[in-house]
Amino acid sequence: MEEHDGFVLPMGGTGSEETKSVLKPYGVWGVIAPFNFPMALGMGMAAGAMVAGNTVVFKPASDTPFSGLALYEILRDAGLPDGVFNFIACKDLGNVI
């Protein structure tokens, strides 16, 4: 974020269009990790959200719940503040209130 002078980064466009990437905190991001490569893909999505200043609610695939727990424990032990990366594991999100 520091390298790109904040949250705005001009991007190459084609023709007369002007494009830019604007990274800013939106609040809470829900990240649902897939069953294949759950740590790599899940953490990639979560890291992008956290770098931009958002918090994350992380739900691993129901086939790989312990990978999500491991990510949570790694970030907690590394000193990430409470509430930035939140872990939830359940088979059916319809039962979550």
pLDDT averaged per 10 residues, the chain (length 97):
68 81 83 87 90 91 88 95 91 54
- Give SS3 for 53: coil
Residue 59, pLDDT score: 92
Which secondary structure element, helix H or strand E, spans residue 93, and what is its range?
none
pLDDT of res. 5 = 58
8 Å CB contact between 72 and 85: yes
Q: How many CA atoms lie within 13 A of 48 on its CB side?
A: 10
> What pLDDT score was predicted for residue 91?
62
Q: Which of 55, 57, 58, 59 is nearest to 26 (CA)?
A: 55
Structure tokens at 7: 């949250």
